A and B are shown apart, each in its own frame.
Chain A
Amino acid sequence: MRGYSFPALVGRALRGHRGWPKAWRSAEPERSYDVIVIGAGGHGLATAYYLAKNHGITNVAVLEKGWLGGGNTGRNTQVTRSNYFWPQSAAFFERSLKLYENLSRELNFNVMLSQRGILTLAHSHHEMEALRRWTNAIRINGIDSEVMTPSEIGKLVPLLNLDARFPVHGGFIQRRGGISRHDAVAWGYARAANALGVSIVQQCEVTGFDIADGRVAGVTTSRGSIAAEKVCICVAGHTSVLAAKAGFRVPITSMALQAMVSEPIKPCLDTVVLSPAIHAYVSQSDRGELVLGGGADGYNSYAQRGGIPLLEENLAALIELFPAFSRLRLMRQWAGIVDITPDTTPIMGLTPVKNLYLSGGWGTGGYKAIPAGGETMAHTVAHDAPHPLIADFGLDRFESGALIDEGAASGVAH
């Protein structure tokens, strides 16, 4: 892999940028691999990368039905944070944030991590109590978080209307939270995995599994059958579809999660602001657009487009909190298909089929989990046993009842 750096850029600039190599090669499918990862989104690519890097397993193919990074990885609102309530969640997402903090250098690709802080608002006395419970949990989990008073919040986010219909009673901030560049994460992992020998096969849709005696032996695809020792499903949004092909059901509902951006303007918002009660969720991208996270349209969907009721609700909430945004214009609205689990915690680990592994159920928050998701799934695939960080995230929790309900505990879904 040729290095990306400022001197390299200057050197190639002098030669008209003719010297840059491919970021990754477009591999053709081969007859067999040691491991097949289905889905070249952030999680699939990261899983392949860590399989090669941490476990020396390089005969790996990542099969992608479309183009890499084209699913939810390229459609989310780019927020990274680790302010989780339950210790299992906190440990996992904190690991992910730590990996993010070094990711640009690890991958030699600037993922533009901007740790500008993520501010969560409370709008009543009782919400403030719930938020205090959450903040204390985060601190006990060893993660930074500070309770803020309304006047401190006013100084940090001057455009915020503290006397809104639901007045701001306070909030808390995780200063290490922030945003990064989603495409760069996918491309960076793709390039780094490729450099370690991983094959990325785009335009190759998995249509079925080759399963004998309860053990997976390969997959069938739109470009023929491919054998593999082990197969890992990383297709958030379509987990149910793939699981059905492998013969089992999962506790997942797919819905269209909306996001939207305004026209770009000069910097006016330096923090990610989130109001769980009002469902407003906004940051300003480095390009200047206001990036708004919406909720999911409230019914099952595999259509990557959003509806109107939620759009109206999201913008009403935003403008109630930020009246100054009312005259800005909305440029684009889109949606990604997300896997919602009953407890909003992902499903990671083994499946009823031997040597078939699953990473899914990421709900609305898979992006921030990409590095740790890849790292722990690579471990899980390599050892045929869940990584300790994800031991509680398995499918078996639904049978025992040991759900990890982050939404119920902290009042905010992932």
Chain B
Amino acid sequence: MSPSQPLRKAQGGRIDRTRTVAFRFDGRRYLGHPGDTLASALLANGVKVMGRSMKLHRPRGVLSAGVEEPNALFSVDWGSGKIPSIRATVMPALDGLVAQSQNCFPSVNFDLGRALDFTHRLWPAGFYYKMFKWPSWRAFEWAVRRTAGIGRLPDGTDRTRYRHLNSHCDVLVVGSGPSGLAAALEAGRRGEDVLVVEQDVAFGGSLLHDPMAIDGAASDDWLEAALAELDGMDNVRLMANATAAGCYDHNLVTIHDRSAAYRSDGPVETFHKVRARRIVLATGATEQPMLFGNNDLPGIMLAGAVHAYVGRYAVNCGQRVAGVVNNDAGWHSLLAVHDAGTAVRAIVDTRGDVERELLDAAEERGIAVHPGATPLTARGSSGVRGLRFAAANETTKQVDCDLIAMSGGLNPTTQLYSQAGGKLRYDERRHCFVPDKDPADLDVVGAASGSFGWENGSSVRPCTVAPVRTGRQWVDFQHDVTAADIELAVRENYVSVEHMKRYTTAGMAVDQGKTSNLGVLSLLAQLTGRSPGEVGTTTARPQFMPVTMGAIAGNRRGDFYRPAKRLAAHDWHAGEGAVFDDYGAWKRPAFYGDDRDASIAREVLAVRQSVGFFDGSPLGKIEVKGPDAARFLDRIYVNNVLTLKPGRVRYGLMLNENGVVIDDGVFVRQDEDHFLVNTTSGNAERIAAWLEEWHQCEFFDMRLVLSNVTSQWAVATLAGPDARAVLQSLPGLIDLSTASFPHLRFAAGHLADGMPYRLQRVSFSGEQSYELSVPSNRAASIFERLQAAAGPGKLVPIGVEALMVLRTEKGFVHVGVDTDGTTNPLDIGFGAVVDRKQRDFIGARSLARPNDRRTDRRQLVGFELLDRNASVPAGAHFVTGSNGGRRSEGFVTSACDSPTLGRTIGIGLIEGGFGRKGEEVLVYDSGRNLPARIVDPCFYDPSGERMRA
């Protein structure tokens, strides 16, 4: 025996005594063995107080030996930074680990917060609803917030790698106790794909501390053989240290796998998404506490936990044990504990009709038994010293003890079952909720189904037998909810189980009520004269055990969070000094150079005076081909498609059925039955999908195919008076003279070196402009060739921001910027086009509604500030009136300090704008009011001469 572990038994247990681990708890160093949890190692070292409760700061010891633990929650650092609220009962005792108790100051053994406990009468359930109204909640909130919460935000950086794994199986077995392993063996032998998930570090469930005979063999032997057989089957996977946390639609189970979470060479947590044809829940049952006064003292534990600590970890949790039980499973634990060397002095059973067999077993061992007794209060302050109870003859008795092992009955662990849609039934005999009607493709076996094994003749009594006012009886340990709180809530008519939970917060702590929900229901039933079955349960939600949020997010972080689309020539742009910005999913050059404003101005002037080059590759390109292509697109566009001749280009608008402009761009008729649709860059995929939807769902009799070729073609846009000369220097290109290739024409062919190209003469800048498309993988090379052809420094690369200035000067709308989800084509000056079209198109009918025809709708206008030196951003509003009566008439949708015009101009939407040219208005931005004049939206070359030159 290690001298530092006074309560460790000399032998037994499933710990590796050949090795020790050293860890720290609250600054002190402790030793344990591999195989220990933090809780078992601390118990072996005689540590009793492990935490403080959330509300009243009561000292608390460990209650359980599993995931249900409400008290022993530590901040733990295993090289991970301090992670809050780790359950000591499941956290392996790792060498070098540092653990700290939570929610206490200055220490867990002396906590000033205990003052709240001494004044507890002022803080009954829901006290905050009744006070803190004056002067306002805000005045108190800061203080209340500081007392709430348990752990602290993790410190340091997260070194964990999170990954997702998807898999399928025929049978998913959750839990590896005897029932789970038996189910796995059966399915495995049938040749089915089996996955066994166990949240513990070891397989075996209760067998790990509670040996029994299975199929005539000792369970240790059976377990070994079963695991060996399963391990030998290729169709069976075994997964330990992994929790099935959620059950979702169509048999999807999520598993939080921590098997590599504590690795020092790079921890990994895996989030599995398993699609199972059949789910077998072998999730066992959770022992419930008994209710009696001071039942939260350190040294009061669940009987099964005491059994687990002595059986699995060889730790005596006390020297003199008193048992408080209402069921046979508790007896089983207590007898086993006694036989393992932890002396049980007395068993207080609330049932009068304890089986003879059990009474004999107690007598054999010299254990005093008090059947039909009522536990009253535990004595002690920071540890148990005794138990007072009322014997069957109603005399009050007392037993001295340093440990109370209680068992308020088992409750099947049915959270996943409920998430899967299973219905529960209240079992009057066992006093718990058991699966009733299994959902399809799901089975529950073993204790989870309500067959607990240790049942003799007498049924379980409710765990609530002492009168509610016998001392303070804790129902929810972590949130400090007592029987009196439940009683108060009942008195105030919070008698629906959900009201009860929310009003008292019982069951809402991090343990999610695993050891409190049944107690609440029993009390609520008792106090309202109903059966717990009538009271019903709250609905279990994912997660069964809290899951690391990083694990659920997976590797979608940083560059992997919605990965950016990069242009084919991204590196070329970077080499040119591009500053990139996010435009939808794309990273695109915003401008080139260091100074944003100066760069934009330089780029704009290059286009106006010589030639600029713009990478327009993200421009949406959708091919539409087939005998009905024209008829289809005529249904899609506001504009007339049928009259367009091959080789010609036309600008068009697309609406949704509500008549709202959703996209614009040119469409090209390459051939009689072959169109190329251009969409705005951000909308390419959306419009491609939208066209498919219309074709497949509504116009399925039209013969055509759609193909989104956006990423196949890179687009070099050359704009400016010198654009033609530069472009013409590419050998093999068609004659670009305006006579043979005027504005709004299209051509396709091959350059002299065989490179295929498509060329369209369209302009978003207002200058003579060509969009040359080449295969994407040739983007950088064609850019370089154009640059070389132009001569050093002549071809100026321009970014998105310069293009935005250019098109704003020209008054061209940018859909989604100058229009919003309410803008119809009439609002942006396409009323004549709409009215000319005699045939139906998407959105046409909506444009005939009264509201769409109102003349005071927001309509597209240009504006210029009266003060030539003033400036105003997009997002400013056109207002009337002044403070108080101010009203918005519309807003500036695009604005720029125009390098071409030397003043701030912009376009916007304003009520009745078409009829208000020349009117003076106020432009409002962040408290400033600037006078402006409404003008035509086109500020530059209104006749379009330069564009057509």
Contact = CB atoms under 8 A, between A and B. Distances in A.
Q: Do A and B actually bind?
A: yes
B566 interface: no
A1 interface: no
Interface in B517-554: 541-543, 546-550, 552-554
A22 B252 contact: no
Contacts of B128: 110, 112
Nearest to A108: B133
A331 interface: yes
A73 to B, nearest CB: 11
A325 B549 contact: yes
A333 B543 CA distance: 7
Given A74-B502, A329-B547, A401 B138 contact: no
A129 B492 contact: no
B397 interface: no
Contact of A409 (B484, B821, B926): B821
A269 B164 CA distance: 29
A141 to B, nearest CB: 8
B741 interface: no
B512 interface: yes
B502 A183 contact: yes
A332 B512 contact: yes
A305 B821 CA distance: 30
A330 B150 CA distance: 14
B217 interface: no
B491 A409 contact: no
B9 to A, nearest CB: 34
Nearest to A6: B131
Interface in A122-143: 123-126, 129-137, 139-142
B46 interface: no
Interface string A298-339: 000000010110011001111110011111111111100000
B851 interface: yes
Given A140-B879, A265-B152, A326 B492 contact: no
Interface residues of B, number: 111
Contact of A147 (B152, B419, B926): B926
Contact of B491 (A22, A104, A329): A22
Contact of A319 (B273, B553, B873, B924): B553
A248 interface: no
A84 B658 CA distance: 23
B130 A265 contact: no
Interface string A1-26: 00011101110011011101111111
- Interface size band for A: 35 or more
A316 B154 contact: no
Contact of B493 (A26, A113, A334): A26
A393 B235 CA distance: 60
Contact of A9 (B127, B146, B546): B127
Contact of B541 (A140, A187, A319, A332): A332
B493 A110 contact: no
A20 B822 contact: no
Interface in A95-111: 104-105, 108-111
Nearest to B875: A132
A340 to B, nearest CB: 15
Interface string A262-273: 111111100000
B752 interface: no
A114 interface: yes
B190 interface: no
Contacts of A401: 658-659, 846, 849-852
Contact of A13 (B124, B141, B817): B124
A104 B133 CA distance: 6
B574 interface: no
B148 A286 contact: yes
Contacts of B138: 113-116
Contact of A330 (B151, B552, B801, B886): B552
Interface string B42-66: 0000000000001000000000000
Given A13-B124, A74-B502, A405-B822, A330 B133 contact: no
A154 interface: no
Contact of A25 (B160, B419, B493): B493
A23 B146 CA distance: 29
A285 B552 CA distance: 22
Nearest to A317: B561
B136 A113 contact: yes
B925 interface: yes
Contacts of B851: 400-402
Best-buried of A69, A87, A123, A328 by chain B (most CB within 10 Å) = A328
Interface string B400-442: 0000000000000000000100000000000000000000000
Interface string B845-886: 010011110000000000000000000011111010000101
B488 A17 contact: yes
B149 A9 contact: no
Interface string A197-220: 000001000000000000000000
Contacts of A113: 136-138
Nearest to A130: B875
A255 interface: no
Contact of A132 (B158, B162, B510, B925): B925
Given A67-B499, A136-B875, A136-B891, A264 B150 contact: yes
A169 to B, nearest CB: 9
Given A115-B138, A326-B158, A110 B875 contact: no
Contacts of A324: 153-154
B145 to A, nearest CB: 5
B154 to A, nearest CB: 4
A352 interface: no
Contacts of A331: 510, 512, 543, 546
Contact of B129 (A109, A132, A267, A327): A109
B445 interface: no
B314 to A, nearest CB: 31
Contacts of A130: 875
A383 interface: no
Contacts of B499: 67-69, 187
B582 interface: yes
A408 interface: yes
Best-buried of A132, A137, A317 by chain B (most CB within 10 Å) = A132
A316 B561 contact: yes
A342 interface: yes
A283 B906 CA distance: 38
B80 interface: yes
Contacts of A307: 248-249
B836 interface: no
B158 A327 contact: yes
A112 to B, nearest CB: 5
Contacts of B884: 142
Contact of B546 (A147, A187, A318, A329): A329
A295 B270 CA distance: 24
B590 interface: yes
A136 B887 CA distance: 11
A133 B557 CA distance: 31
A69 B494 CA distance: 12
B590 to A, nearest CB: 7
Given A69-B499, A110-B131, A129-B873, 11 more contacts: A70-B496, A105-B133, A133-B893, A187-B499, A263-B84, A263-B85, A263-B546, A264-B151, A323-B157, A330-B549, A331-B512
What are the nearest 3 A-B pairs in CB distance?
A408-B821, A288-B149, A132-B875
Interface of B: 54, 80-81, 83-85, 121-122, 124, 127-134, 136-138, 141, 144-146, 148-154, 157-158, 160, 162, 164, 246, 248-249, 252, 254, 273, 419, 469, 484, 488, 491-496, 498-499, 502-503, 505, 510, 512, 541-543, 546-550, 552-554, 556-559, 561-562, 564, 581-583, 590, 658-660, 801, 817, 820-822, 846, 849-852, 873-877, 879, 884, 886-888, 891-893, 924-927
10 contacts: A22-B493, A136-B926, A140-B886, A147-B926, A183-B503, A288-B149, A320-B561, A327-B83, A333-B541, A402-B851
